[in-house]
Structure 1
């Protein structure tokens, strides 16, 4: 998808409204390590990975701290 058309990037990015709702639902805690974080220190993550057909729906979103999200990579 190297078209240069940035609107396609929205398919993989959760909106802030969705991320905030999931962050609240998870009681401000990372879904992996369980530690509490401010919203700005967390990232929206696909539960079922994008590469495996996971879609950018609220039901497929979890909030992870930056460390957990970046350390899990493409496992």
Structure 2
């Protein structure tokens, strides 16, 4: 169980980003999900880094949202 307000730092590899518009699309979608902050998307390195309150939005919802936008997503260690 996750304590509300407790944020975890997450990093993902995003497959299929090829321009800054792609990065902005992902960033906008992340902001609308709620619970995410300090969102950084880099299309050149195909990475997404952010902090997430999993009590508000589970990471599975983040992954599903990104896939729904047409991108591949895989957690980075």
TM-score, length-scaled by structure 1: 0.26
Greater gyration radius:
1
Structure with bigger helix share is: 1
Structure with bigger strand share is: 2
TM-score, length-scaled by structure 2: 0.25
Q: Which has the higher contact order (CA 8 A, sep 6+)?
A: 2
